[in-house]
Amino acid sequence: MTNTSTTDSNYQSIINELNSRLNRLSEEFNNLLRERQTNKNNLDNRIKEISNLSKNISNLHREISNRDADIVVLQENIQNLTKTVQDKQSHINDLQNTISDLTISTQNSTNFNREKENIINNLQDQISQFNQQKSEKYSRIRELSNSLQSKISELEELKNEKSRLKAKKDEWEQRYQTLYQNYQQQNNEIARLKTEIAQAKRSQQSQPNNNQIATKKKISVEEYLRIYNQNDYVYVNSYYRKDGTYVKAHYRRRPNG
């Protein structure tokens, strides 16, 4: 009767120990679920940022197209003004030739009259007017040229801003891919832990006294489920080393274990 009581007591102790292990595994599983939710929120934020960057780039495309249209209009105005100035210059040359002819005719003529003098004066007045118009046209051309240079500078700045935004967008997309891969790996890890917890439950029900005592400094999750001295080990989440190598979740021995 005493042996039976002792056996029941030992069996109850083992059952309690197994329940404690199940509780720890459940707590670790819940921690992984919370971490997964956090990663999902981070992914949503990155997607929103990428969408905003895409909208900014589209706006820059439209603004650059508008600036290009303004530059084309300015270039057409400059060409038209240049052609007008050339026509005025040709007219001025014709008038100067006419004045020269009239002056020679006046010098050679013995019957100089007032009418020719009036014609010469009128022609000189017209020349003065054309010269003034010519100066105004040149001033207008300089103003349009300055405006054109300013538009070109603004266009270059917009193109540079577009390049910077595109680079930033590419950077965020790369980060999104990395986070998404981590997210998938966490999902795989959670699925694997679910399977291991289910296997542990079945193993604890069928083999309550088959556990071993581990002495390694680091063991896998599968090994942890099969050892007796689980209190001597602590859980370590999966992570990436500095060189990019992925390290799976595992257990390491306590310093005083």
Q: Residue ranges per domain, the chain? A: 39-210, 211-257
Q: Ramachandran region of residue 212, left (φ > 0), alpha (ψ -120 to 50) or beta?
A: beta
Question: From first to last of its 257 residues, what are the pLDDT tens digits of the chain?
Answer: 566 667 778 878 888 888 888 888 888 888 888 888 888 888 888 888 878 888 888 888 788 788 888 878 878 887 887 888 788 888 889 988 988 887 787 777 766 678 878 888 988 999 889 888 988 988 888 998 888 888 888 888 899 999 889 898 998 888 888 878 877 887 888 788 778 767 766 665 555 445 688 888 899 998 998 898 999 999 999 989 889 898 999 999 998 75
Could you give the CA distance from residue 127 to residue 144 in angstroms, rounded to a whole number?
A: 25
Helix residue spans in the chain (DSSP H): 2-108, 114-206, 221-225
In the numeric block, which tokens belong to residue 15? 């059952």
pTM of the model: 0.41
- 169-204 b/e (C-beta count within 10 Å ≥ 16 → b): beebeeebeebeebbeebeebeeebeebbeebeebb
CATH fit for domain 39-210, picks 1.10.8, 1.10.3470, 1.10.287, 3.40.190? 1.10.287
DSSP for residue 212: B
